[in-house]
Amino acid sequence: MTPPKDITIYDIAKVLNVSPATVSRGLKDHPAIRKDTKKRILDAARKMGYQQNTFASNLRSKRSNTIGVIIPRLNSYFMSTVIAGMEKVANQSGYNLIISQSQESFKKEIVSVNTMYDSRVDGLMVSLAYDTADTDHFEVLLKKNIPIIFFDRVIDHPGCTSIVIDNKQAGYDATVHLLKQGCKRIMQVAGNLSRNVYADRLEGYKMALAKFGIPFDSTLVISNSLLSEQGGVDAAQLILSMEHRPDGIFASNDTAAVACMRQLKLSGIHIPNEIAVVGFNNDPISKVIDPNLTTINYPGHEMGEVAAATLVNKLDQKNAPSLNTIVLRHELIVRESSNRN
């Protein structure tokens, strides 16, 4: 049994005794079309079960109405809220999203970019993989004037807008908070320092120490951690093995902070009295761990909305002014893991 043939604008044209061109216009919001013929066309289309053929349309118009999204991983609360925000804005504006995960790998990111290119996305939104080393793979798109927006893990590139929070300030806020709780030796569990987010958070940490006149001690920084559960456990084990243990931890994400806390608790360390802990992201687990984790609220949904809105704007009005960087507001949320009062 073969499926019945698709209805095309020719079929509608024949029925209504107009030309296919008119049908095409009626289906869109073409300015030069009489209201009643448009209505007739729309009615007939509905009645006949017409579905537009996007391939033909895209082929002809050279637009896909599709926006690509490349992210390291989907499995964090932060990322899923970002995606939800993007979907909302994109769909409202008539764009579809296609999502690809780089799995934190530079190589896979390159593949993803090429897939997006092949799919002829109208624009791209990217948060970089853990070990992305350069931006050459984006050039194919940029050469064709396909706009790219970076968000969260960004890289400075002329002509591309970045959406971020002030990670330096956030790192500063987190560290100052710990210092004000009386911490003198604060460990910083950082990620790959070639990623802006982790480098900046560390930078903010250093600024806070300087402000409080505490000398920076590089043995208190764990860099290039994957900030995974394992990363948190490793950090805890390192701490437990230290002669002179830290009295505070600022971890660059909640996953690592929580895993670290669990491990420390298992060894009988009291949080926050012996070691106070601050995480980053305001992931739901931060409210599950006992004691609840102090963290930095990261506005994921808003970041998704802003990124998509910025891109759609660029797409719809080519003359839109190209901002370099948009900074969203973050917020320190103090909970029991660091509160010694």
Partner DNA sequence: TTGTAAGCGTTATCAG
Partner DNA sequence: CTGATAACGCTTACAA
Nearer to its own copies, 244 or 318 (CB): 318
Question: Bridge-partner residues for 126, per DSSP?
Answer: 70, 150
Within the chain, how many helices (H) and strands (E) appear?
12, 12
Question: Can you tell me whether residue 230 is helix, strand or coil?
Answer: helix
By CB under 8 A, the residues from 279 to 318 that bind its own copies are 284-285, 287-290
Residue 56 as a binder of its own copies (CB under 8 A): the answer is: yes
d(CA 316, CA 144): 16
DSSP 157-172: -TT-EEEEE-HHHHHH
Strand ranges inside the chain, DSSP E:
66-71, 96-101, 123-126, 148-151, 161-165, 186-189, 221-222, 248-251, 276-278, 295-297, 325-328, 331-333
Residue 6 as a binder of DNA (CB under 7 A): the answer is: yes
d(CA 170, CA 222): 18
Q: Which does 37 bind (CB under 5 to 8 A by kind): DNA, its own copies, none?
A: DNA
Residue 60 as a binder of DNA (CB under 7 A): the answer is: yes
What's the CA dihedral at 25, 28, 32, 34 to 10 degrees?
Answer: 80
Q: Are 248 and 187 in contact (CB under 8 A)?
A: yes
**Residues 98-127, mask of contacts with DNA (x by CB under 7 A):** ------------------------------
Which one among 131, 166, 217, 229 touches its own copies, defined by CB under 8 A? Answer: 229
CB of 186 to its own copies, least distance (A): 23
Region of 15-23, 52-60, 193-201, 208-216 interacting with its own copies (CB under 8 A): 52-60
CB of 2 to DNA, least distance (A): 13
Q: Which does 65 bind (CB under 5 to 8 A by kind): its own copies, DNA, none?
A: none
Region of 30-38, 118-126, 169-177, 320-328 interacting with DNA (CB under 7 A): 30-38
DSSP alpha helices (H): ranges in 65-224? 77-92, 106-118, 139-143, 167-180, 196-211
Q: Are 193 and 223 in contact (CB under 8 A)?
A: yes
Number of residues that bind DNA (CB under 7 A): 30
Which one among 53, 230, 267, 325 touches its own copies, defined by CB under 8 A? Answer: 53
- Token pair for residue 303? 């970041």
Q: Which does 20 bind (CB under 5 to 8 A by kind): its own copies, DNA, none?
A: DNA
DSSP 62-75: T---EEEEEES-S-
Region of 11-19, 80-88, 153-161, 200-208 interacting with its own copies (CB under 8 A): 80-88
The C-alpha angle with vertex 204 and arms to 202 and 205, in degrees rounded to 5, equals: 60
Interacting residues toward DNA by CB under 7 A: 5-6, 8-10, 17-22, 24-25, 27-28, 31-35, 37-38, 50, 52-53, 56-57, 59-61
Residues that bind its own copies (CB under 8 A): 1, 3-4, 51-56, 58-59, 64, 73-75, 77, 80-81, 83-84, 87, 96-101, 103, 115, 117-120, 143-145, 229, 258, 262, 284-285, 287-290
